[in-house]
Amino acid sequence: MSSSNNTPSCDGWLAVPSGPCCRKGTLHKGTPRGQFVTVAELDTYLSRPRRRQSNGHILLYFPDVWGMFPNGLLVMDAFADAGYLVLGVDYFRGDPVWKHRRNRHDRSNPDFDYEAWKKKHMKFADEAVPRWIDEVKRTYGLPSTKYACVGYCFGAPYVCSELAKNTVNAGAFAHPAFLKNHHFANIKKPLYLSCSEEDHTFDQDSRRTALQILQAGKKTYHLQLFSGVEHGFALRGNMDNAYERECCSL
C-alpha cells in the first residue's frame, strides 16, 4: 500500500477505508448489562461501573461497522468493570453493516452498496461525534472527570481527532481504518495502537509510516502488535480459539 519512500499510494490513506475483512467474525457469548439512552439525539449505550469499582472517569466508545452488536456491548461492559462510566455512540443510527451483509461472503442482498453505506455514515458521524461528546460532558461529566476514548476500525479517526484537542487524556484504537498522516501528526495526548500483523487496512508499511510520524513529532504512544490474528480480532475474534481469546483480552 505504501511506496518505497513511505508515501501512501492509496489516496493518502495510512489506514485505508474498511473493506471485506471488516464484515466477518464471530459473536461472543454473554448478556449485556448496560442500557440505551439518548445523548445529543443519538442512541447511546451506557454501562456503569459497579458502585465500589468506580474511578470517577468516563470512557468514550466509537464502534466499528458492526455498530451496537453484542460483542461491542460486552466490551463496553468490561471497560465499565474496570471502573469507567462508558458511553458508546451509535453513529450508524440503527443501520449497522450486518443488517445488509452478515459476512463478506453474504450475497443475499445484491443491491447493497457498501461504499455508499460507508460514505453516508462517515459524513454523518463526522458531524455528529463532536456534539455528542459535548453533550456527554455536560450531562455526565464533573469538573474532576477525566476522559479516555477507544475506537475500532471505523471509529479510529474519532479517537485521533479527540487526541488532537483537549477533550481526552488518552486514547486507543484497534485494527484501524480511515486514517491519514494528519491523524498521527496532530495528536497531543497518548495513543495506544492495538494491531494485527496481517491487516489490509493498516499493513506493515503503513504502520511504519505512522510510527515515523509519531516519533518525529515526539508523541507519546505504545504499539501492540499481534501475530496470528486478522483485522477485527479485538471485537470479533473466535473466543473458542485460546490464542484469539487471549489477544482480545489484552
**Which CATH number covers residue 128?**
3.40.50.1820
Domain assignment present for residue 60? The answer is: yes
- Mean pLDDT lowest among 38-42, 154-158, 195-199, 216-220: 195-199
The count of residues in the chain is 250
Domain assignment present for residue 7? The answer is: no
Cβ-based burial of 15 (10 A; exposed 0-12, middle 13-18, buried ≥19): buried
Domain assignment present for residue 8? The answer is: no
Beta carbons within 10 angstroms of residue 66's beta carbon: 24
Domain assignment present for residue 230? The answer is: yes
Domain assignment present for residue 154? The answer is: yes
Domain assignment present for residue 132? The answer is: yes
Residue span of the structural domain in which 40 resides? 20-104+113-248
Does pLDDT of 4 surpass 60? no
Q: Which three cell numbers stand for residue 157?
A: 479517526
Distance CA 145, CA 168 (A): 10
Nearest one of 84, 73, 74 to 168, comparing CA atoms: 84
**What average pLDDT does the structure give for the chain?**
87
Does pLDDT of 207 surpass 50? yes
Band (81; pLDDT cuts 50, 70, 90) = very high
Q: Which residue has the higher pLDDT, 144 or 26?
A: 144
Nearest one of 100, 28, 22 to 63, comparing CA atoms: 22
Domain assignment present for residue 14? The answer is: no
Distance CA 72, CA 63 (A): 7
How many separate domains does the chain show? 1
Q: Which residue has the higher pLDDT, 103 or 4?
A: 103
Distance CA 121, CA 123 (A): 5
Distance CA 118, CA 92 (A): 10
Domain assignment present for residue 4? The answer is: no
Question: 215 — phi, psi (to 5°)?
Answer: -70, -40
Enumerate the active-site residues: 153, 199, 231
